[in-house]
């Protein structure tokens, strides 16, 4: 079976700085991968390229049969709305839209909006009584749950989460991890960037980067 | 969803948008007032010009000699009832003497002279009745020559005939009229022994230069044997003044719109900075540049429509006030100015929203990294 994600000899340069160098790995559909490594190791750069937010300098990145490096800006936009669900460390919700509208925004850019479906997505993350709240009226954990509902609303092939619990307390971290676990159990493919060994141990495999190179791929310690 | 986001965008940025709206409303108000004035000013100014003296003269081919006098019955054929005719004053000029000194006596219709020359400065009072045979108006040079003041009596002679008149007012016209004495037409005709005769007729006719030319041609056809000629110097001066006023209004509006655009640009540039993060996020979520820009352009257009509407309403009030101050009559608002103001305001708003177009270049990865 063809892997959902194929990364071959990936290189990314920012002027003279080489952020990624010779990175290769594959991800099967339904896998939960933890991308780990110290700060500056290229984790976020890797996830941005996989999410179609950045172009690789060289090498191949193929997601669901689409080679990212060959897509035009317009095709990348379509790729992001169709295939990818983002969850960011900073939540990145639109501050003047309600929780419901933030989820519907992703629907709007994908195709057509469905308020009932968006409300149902928020209910699944336990926010049925927060639909009309603005991000500023929600706790960090609640904002991240809105972001997860938004990431899931268009049924993406790949969920990319960049330090999804980095700004949360332990209780909220546990809630978010439980949600990610449920998503994984439901068959979603998840790539999580994390510093946390605990989160890394929840994944199926750990892709570890050092200085922009693939250091090792390990199995979690359970 | 478009309108939902649009509404929230307006609500979220109401501070910056209010500043842009104030700039647009102010610019639109002045533009709308000036457009209203421009449309109404020509008519108002032509009306004003018609108080500055005759612009058409009807005279025998060689006016001045006894043989070249016209019959006063031409007044019936001139078409005094025509809507274009502001005033028509017949004149009979008589060489008379006051004591031993010669003076030109101008017999006319006082009421028409007053309408045609309302700008004359009068010390004393106008003679209001057309047929007043006991009063006269005296030019200020003639009054000085003969030592006359309002209420003074003067005896005028022409050959064996004489008439005694009371000076009602001393007029200052700044031209040949200052050396003349004005009486009723009948007094002049009796003194000269020329009943029913006139030297010329002065007309004040409203309209554009081409309308006046057309009127003149029609009148010449109706009065064979008489010269009917427009006063070219006055028509040219009117045209020149109106052209300058139109130019002044055009350039003022242009300047105001440039300043308004700069005001909107400043607000929108600040707004673009504030929104770069949101746009980066929208692009990350799969929002196309066109779809995101459509939101911002709709916002700018709505701002233009609202600013234009408010500006038009203020402009109407402003035009009425300026009209009252400058012309003494309120300017009537023209409906055609409304769409023109809206189009101008929307154009300025879209031009001022140019900085928002730069948001199309935002790279989501950089924004989300916090760069």
> Which residues of chain B neighbour A113 with C-beta distances below 8 Å?
1
Q: Are residues B144 and B177 in the same domain?
A: yes
pLDDT digits (tens, 9 = 90+) for B196-251: 889 999 998 887 777 888 888 888 888 888 888 887 666 677 777 878 888 888 89
Which of helix, strand or coil describes residue A87? strand
Task: Say if B8 is an interface residue toward chain A (CB within 8 Å).
Answer: yes
B271/B318 same-domain check: yes
- Determine whether the interchain pair A86/B284 forms a contact, defined as Cβ–Cβ distance below 8 Å: yes
Mean pLDDT of A179-199: 88
Domain boundary among B181, B200, B230: B230
Distance in Å, alpha carbon of A78 to nearest chain B alpha carbon: 6
Give the one of A74, A94, A154 whose C-beta lies nearest to B281's C-beta: A94
Pair B330, A13: CB distance under 8 Å: no
pLDDT cut 90: percent of chain B above it: 33
Chosen from B284, B288, B361, B370 to mutate, greatest number of chain A CBs within 10 A: B284
Tell which of B230, B252, B276 closes a domain: B230
A83 contacts chain B (CB < 8 A): no
| pLDDT of A4 over the 70 cut | yes
Residues B214 and B266 both lie in one domain: no
Count: domains in chain A: 1
Q: Choose the mutation target among A84, A106, A108, A113 for the interface with B, i.e. most B CBs under 10 Å.
A: A108
Which of B287, B364, B368 faces A109 most closely, judged by CB atoms?
B287
Q: Which residues of B touch A108 (CB under 8 A)?
A: 1-2, 5, 287
Mean pLDDT value across residues A135-151 = 91
Question: Are both B201 and B114 inside the same structural domain?
Answer: yes
Residue pair B45/B243 in contact by the 8 Å Cβ criterion: no
Full 3-state SS string of B170-230: EEECCCHHHHEEEEEHHHHHHHHCCCCEECEEEEEECCCHHHHHHHHHHHHHHCCCCEEEE
Count interface pairs A-B at CB distance under 8 A.
Answer: 74
Range of the domain at A117: 5-218
- Cβ–Cβ gap A101/B4 under 8 Å: yes
B366 part of contact set with chain A, CB < 8 Å: no
Q: Does A150 touch chain B (CB under 8 A)?
A: yes
What is the average pLDDT across A29-37?
A: 93
pLDDT of A199 above 80: yes
Q: Is residue B81 scored above 70 in pLDDT?
A: no
Closest C-alpha among A98, A77, A115 to residue B5:
A98
- CB spacing of B286 vs A106 below 8 angstroms: yes
pLDDT at A25 over 90: yes
pLDDT at B278 over 70: yes
Q: Please state, in angstroms and rounded to a whole number, the distance separating the CA atoms of residues B328 and B324.
A: 4
A96/B9 Cβ within 8 A: yes
Based on the fold, state whether residues B41 and B145 are members of the same structural domain. no
One domain, residues B87 and B223? yes
Closest partner CB to A81 (pick from B285, B369, B370): B285
- Examine the domain organization and report whether B166 and B286 are in the same domain: no
Over pLDDT 70: what percentage of chain A?
100
- Please say if the pLDDT value at position B46 is more than 80: no
User: Residue B64 pLDDT more than 70?
Assistant: no
Chain A contact set for B278 (CB, 8 A): 94-95
- pLDDT category of residue A89 using cuts at 50, 70 and 90: confident
Q: Are residues B291 and B250 in the same domain?
A: yes
| B218 and B69 in a common domain | yes
Query: In this predicted model, what pLDDT tens digit does every residue of B314-366 receive, in sequence order?
Result: 999 998 888 888 777 777 788 889 999 999 999 999 998 888 878 878 888 87
Q: Which of A47, A57, A109 would best serve as a mutation to test chain B binding (most B beta carbons within 10 A)?
A: A109
Residue corresponding to tokens 């066109």: B290
Give the nearest chain A residue to B5 (CA atoms).
A97
Q: Give the residue from chain A lying closest to B286, CA to CA.
A: A81
Residue B141's domain comprises: 56-230
Per-residue 3-state assignment (H helix, E strand, C coil) for B16-75: HHHHHHHHHHHHHHHHHHHHHHHHHHHHHHHHHHCCCCCCEEEECCCECEHHHCEECCHH
CB proximity A14 to B under 8 Å: no
What pLDDT sits at residue B63?
47
Provide the pLDDT for residue B369.
66
Query: What are the chain B neighbours of A53 within 8 Å (beta carbons)?
Result: 284, 363-365, 368
B283 touches chain A (CB under 8 A): yes
* B124 and B186 together in one domain: yes
Domain of A180: which CATH number?
3.40.50.300
Name the residue among A48, A80, A96 with its Cβ closest to that of B285. A80
Query: Burial letters for A101-137: b for 16+ Cβ neighbours within 10 Å, e otherwise?
Result: bbbbbbbbbbeebeeeebbebbebbebeebbebbbee
Residue B100 sits at the chain A interface (C-beta within 8 Å) = no
Give the count of domains, chain B. 2
With CB atoms and an 8 Å threshold, state whether A96 touches B8.
yes
The pLDDT of residue B370 is 56
B32 and B163: one domain? no
Answer for the pair B322, B33: CB distance below 8 angstroms, yes or no.
yes
Average pLDDT of chain B? 85
Please check whether residue A82 touches B, CB under 8 A.
Answer: yes
Condensed to tens digits (0 to 9), the pLDDT of residues B151-165 reads 999 999 988 898 999
Q: Which residue has the tokens 């295939």?
A: A83
Q: Of A54, A82, A108, which is closest to B365 when you measure between CB atoms?
A: A54
Predicted ipTM? 0.88
- What pLDDT is stored for residue B159 in this prediction? 85
Domain end point (choices B182, B203, B230): B230
Minimum Cα–Cα distance from A151: chain B residue: B285
Claim to verify: residue B104 and residue B177 sit in the same structural domain: yes
Name which of A5-14, A152-161, B349-358 the model is least confident about: B349-358
What is the average pLDDT across A100-121?
92
Rounded distance between C-alpha atoms, residue A207 and residue A217, angstroms: 5
> What tens digit of pLDDT does each residue of B162-192 get?
899 999 999 998 888 899 999 999 999 999 9
């Amino acid at each position: 079976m063809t892997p959902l994600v194929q990364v071959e000899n990936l290189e990314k340069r920012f002027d003279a700085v080489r952020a990624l160098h010779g990175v290769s790995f594959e991800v099967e559909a339904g896998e939960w991968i933890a991308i780990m490594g110290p700060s500056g190791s290229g984790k976020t750069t890797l996830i941005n390229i996989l999410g179609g937010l950045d172009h690789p300098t060289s090498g191949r990145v193929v997601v669901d049969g689409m080679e990212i490096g060959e897509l035009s800006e317009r095709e990348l936009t379509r790729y992001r709305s169709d295939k990818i669900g983002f969850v960011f460390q900073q939540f990145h919700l639109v501050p003047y839209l309600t929780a419901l509208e933030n989820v519907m925004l992703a629907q709007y850019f994908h195709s057509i909006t469905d308020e009932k479906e968006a409300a149902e997505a928020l209910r699944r993350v336990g926010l049925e009584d927060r639909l009309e709240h603005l991000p500023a009226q929600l706790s960090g954990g609640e904002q991240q749950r809105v972001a997860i509902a938004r990431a899931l609303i268009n049924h993406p092939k790949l969920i990319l989460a960049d330090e999804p619990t980095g700004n949360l307390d332990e209780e909220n971290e546990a809630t978010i991890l439980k949600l990610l676990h449920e998503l994984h159990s439901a068959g979603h493919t998840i790539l999580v960037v994390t510093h946390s060994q605990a989160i890394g141990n929840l994944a199926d495999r750990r892709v570890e980067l050092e200085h922009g190179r693939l250091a090792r791929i390990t199995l979690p310690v359970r | 969803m478009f309108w939902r986001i649009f509404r929230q965008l307006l609500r979220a940025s109401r501070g910056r948008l209010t500043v842009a709206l104030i700039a647009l409303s102010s610019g639109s108000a002045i533009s709308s007032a000036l457009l209203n004035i421009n449309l109404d000013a020509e008519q108002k100014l032509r009306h004003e010009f018609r108080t500055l003296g005759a612009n058409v003269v009807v005279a025998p081919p060689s006016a001045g000699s006894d043989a070249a006098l016209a019959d006063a019955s031409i007044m019936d054929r001139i078409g005094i009832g025509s809507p274009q005719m502001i005033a028509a004053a017949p004149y009979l000029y008589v060489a008379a003497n006051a004591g031993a000194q010669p003076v030109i006596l101008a017999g006319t219709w006082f009421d028409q002279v007053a309408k045609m020359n309302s700008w004359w400065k009068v010390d004393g009072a106008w003679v209001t009745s057309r047929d007043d045979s006991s009063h006269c108006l005296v030019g200020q040079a003639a009054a000085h020559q003969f030592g006359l003041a309002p209420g003074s009596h003067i005896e005028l002679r022409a050959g064996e005939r004489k008439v005694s008149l009371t000076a009602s007012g001393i007029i200052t016209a700044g031209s040949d009229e200052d050396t003349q004495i004005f009486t009723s037409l009948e007094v002049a005709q009796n003194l000269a022994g020329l009943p029913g005769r006139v030297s010329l007729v002065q007309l004040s006719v409203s309209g554009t230069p081409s309308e006046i030319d057309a009127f003149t041609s029609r009148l010449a056809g109706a009065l064979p044997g008489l010269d009917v000629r427009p006063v070219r110097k006055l028509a040219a001066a009117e045209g020149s003044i109106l052209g300058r006023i139109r130019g002044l209004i055009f350039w003022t509006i242009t300047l105001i719109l440039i300043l308004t655009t700069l005001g909107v640009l400043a607000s929108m540039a600040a707004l673009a900075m504030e929104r770069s993060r949101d746009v980066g996020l929208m692009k990350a979520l799969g929002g196309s540049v066109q779809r995101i820009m459509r939101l911002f352009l709709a916002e700018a257009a709505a701002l233009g429509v609202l600013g234009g509407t408010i500006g038009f309403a203020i402009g109407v009030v402003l035009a009425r006030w300026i009209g009252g101050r400058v012309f003494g009559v309120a300017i009537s608002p023209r409906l055609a100015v409304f769409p023109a103001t809206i189009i101008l305001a929307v154009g300025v708003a879209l031009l001022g929203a140019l900085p928002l177009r730069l948001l199309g270049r935002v790279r989501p990865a950089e924004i989300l990294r916090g760069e």
